[in-house]
């Protein structure tokens, strides 16, 4: 077995495109509701299980492949955490415009203290 128990095309199509989009939306929803980053972890584990099952059911990939599961988990969690950080940066700047300003797509910074 290798890093991908199924073909690379199936991995990209199912894991990256289909479930990656779901992971991105999951991370965005968690970030928009002010929940902490670590809440992506249990949802990501469940989403990866669904991804592996669908890959097994439709394309005959190995269901219990540890390397396939871990590869899918890393990809989905990376997308979810990226979306979480984007949402958190957007919320901080829009919710507290007198305190923070954008510092790139993933960050924010203090506007500075008022003189006086």
Q: What is the pTM of this model?
A: 0.89
Q: Report CA torsion sign: 5, 10, 12, 18.
A: negative
Residues 6 or more apart whose CB falls under 8 angstroms from that of 109 comprise: 100, 101, 103
Task: Please say if the pLDDT value at position 87 is more than 90.
Answer: yes
Per-residue pLDDT tens digits for 17-45: 999 999 999 999 999 999 999 999 999 99
pLDDT in tens, 92-116: 999 999 999 999 999 999 987 555 4
- Confidence at residue 29, expressed as pLDDT on a 0 to 100 scale: 97
d(C-alpha 59, C-alpha 7), whole Å: 9
């Amino acid at each position: 077995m290798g890093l991908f128990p199924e073909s690379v095309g199936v991995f990209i199509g199912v894991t990256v495109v289909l479930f990656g989009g779901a992971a991105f939306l999951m991370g965005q929803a968690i970030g928009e509701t002010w929940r902490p980053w670590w809440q992506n972890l249990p949802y990501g584990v469940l989403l990866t299980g669904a991804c592996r099952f669908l890959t097994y059911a439709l394309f005959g990939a190995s269901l219990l492949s540890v390397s396939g599961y871990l590869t899918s988990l890393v990809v989905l969690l990376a997308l979810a955490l990226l979306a979480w950080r984007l949402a958190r940066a957007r919320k901080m700047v829009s919710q507290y415009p007198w305190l923070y300003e954008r510092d790139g797509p993933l960050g924010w910074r203090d506007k500075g203290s008022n003189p006086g």
